[in-house]
Amino acid sequence: MKLVERNIFSEVQKWLDDTRILLIKGARRTGKTTLLEQIKSYLDHSGKNTILFSADQELDTPYFKSPKLFFNFLSDQYLLENRKLYCLIDECQYLPDASLFLKVIHDLSRGRIKFIVTGSSSLDLLKIKEPLTGRKIEFTLERFSFREYLRAASEYKYDHLFKIPQDIDALKDFYEIYRKDLEYHLVPYLNWGGYPEVCIEKREERKKKYLGEIVTTYIEKDISQFFRIENISKFNSLIRLLCSQRACILNRSEVSNTLGIHFKTLEHYLSILEGTFIITLVRPYYTYVRKELTKMPKVFINDTGIIRNYVGMDFQDLKSVEGNLIENFVFTQLKQHADINIFYYRTVSKAEVDFILKRGQWLIPVEVKFRKRLTVPVVMKNFISTYKEHVEYGILLSQETFDQIDQVYILPVALADFLEFG
């Protein structure tokens, strides 16, 4: 399997000397184990003292029975005088009372052991006795972004990022040079999603097999075994329904009635789907926070391969791709930016701006219009005018147009993952 350097690797590197636990979260099969092995290799080559454990495979060993026993084991076998130990633990959610376990061993180590751990489920979903407040730095490893996919699939190097609006001319030149290659690879990426092993495999029948296995493993391990959901049929029906309604406003009452499940059960299922990185619920943008929390969210599926598995799709070219799938794709690329909060905007008259990106006090409206003839929507113009003190520019993502209308940059959607928001 081709080894693809992940965007997150350089971010994790910056925190290796920090005393806090580094917690790398993410869905199953997104490459957390591979990333952990890469981190260990990097540390080994730097002359560091390291040890790697797989909690799911070693859970029955005596030293994992309690944090005290584990600390004693590390001290006896690996902790060297005057040398910090880097202890890497894969699938930490399998540890008994995971958060408490990590808290205790971190406190016992007193800075002599640096813990770097991965987890397939958000620790927020687990039965936590003790929070890790002040003791951890969190990272989320997403599926392959489009740029990461290109590193695996294209003959060209794609390490570029372009600040908007400063680098707009350089971005235009970049698109002119690489347009054909970008569009050629975007279609299979939309069809199959960003799970690493699916992306790297070239044979279609194996892609289907891998994708099916990923979903089956998720249902059997995370849902049946880990969260002990008994009504798997209803849970699967919910995923299928959400996939068919991707990038749409989620009316919980309608979904509850459609599936015939209690409202509280639906809320529980949705929290699991979010906590296991299958969906993201995006809230509407309001300056009044209570409204933001009470209004209906939009639902996005965190990988288009999941959509393919549940509702089926096979697009031959960009022109045939459905608009809400493109919007879902754009969301998956925007959420790679950890420093940006994503909202949507909807007026009383139900006019919408697809995304509002919030970074500090700055707002960036982003609209997806996947057609050739383009105009800036009135609702977007009004948003820019209303929040003019906080909006420097807007972005309209198109099928292939590169243009500028007043404060709005019109960019081809294939460039969505190459943007850095200044």
| The pLDDT value given to residue 228 | 84
What distances in angstroms separate CA 73 from CA 51, 76, 82, 392, one per listed residue? Answer: 12, 5, 18, 56
| Domains defined for the chain, CATH in brackets | 8-140 (3.40.50.300), 146-421 (no CATH)
Residue 277: which of 148, 414, 161, 138 has the closest Cα? Answer: 138
Q: What count of Cα atoms within 13 Å lies in the side-chain half-sphere of residue 84?
A: 18
Q: The tokens of 246 are what?
A: 């991707």
CB-based contacts of 300, cutoff 8 Å, min separation 6: 246, 247, 279, 280, 281, 282, 328, 331, 332
Rg of the chain over CA atoms, in angstroms? Answer: 23
Residue 363: which of 340, 347, 396 has the closest Cα? Answer: 340
CA 86-88-89 angle, to 5 degrees, is 150
Is the preceding peptide bond at 165 cis, omega within 30 degrees of 0?
yes
- Each residue's pLDDT, cut to its tens digit, for the chain (422 residues) gives 567 889 999 999 999 999 999 999 999 899 999 999 999 999 999 999 999 999 999 989 999 999 999 999 999 999 888 899 999 999 998 898 888 999 999 999 999 999 999 988 765 545 445 678 889 999 999 999 999 999 999 999 998 899 999 999 999 999 999 999 999 999 999 999 999 999 999 999 999 999 999 999 998 888 887 888 889 999 999 999 999 999 999 999 999 999 999 999 999 999 999 999 999 999 999 876 566 555 899 999 999 999 999 998 889 888 889 999 999 999 999 999 988 999 999 998 999 999 999 999 999 999 999 877 789 999 999 999 999 999 999 999 999 999 999 999 999 999 999 999 86
Greatest alpha-carbon span in the chain: 69
| The pLDDT value given to residue 132 | 82
| The pLDDT value given to residue 226 | 80
Is 338 in contact with 141 (CB distance < 8 Å)? no
Give the count of beta carbons closer than 10 Å to the beta carbon of residue 85.
Answer: 19
| The pLDDT value given to residue 289 | 57
- DSSP string covering 7-61: THHHHHHTTTTSSSEEEEE--TTSSHHHHHHHHHHHHHHTT-EEEEEEHHHHTTS
Residue 397: which of 422, 421, 365 has the closest Cα? Answer: 365
DSSP 8-state symbol, 144: P
Give the count of beta carbons closer than 10 Å to the beta carbon of residue 25.
Answer: 23
Beta-bridge mates of residue 404:
409
Is 160 in contact with 392 (CB distance < 8 Å)? no
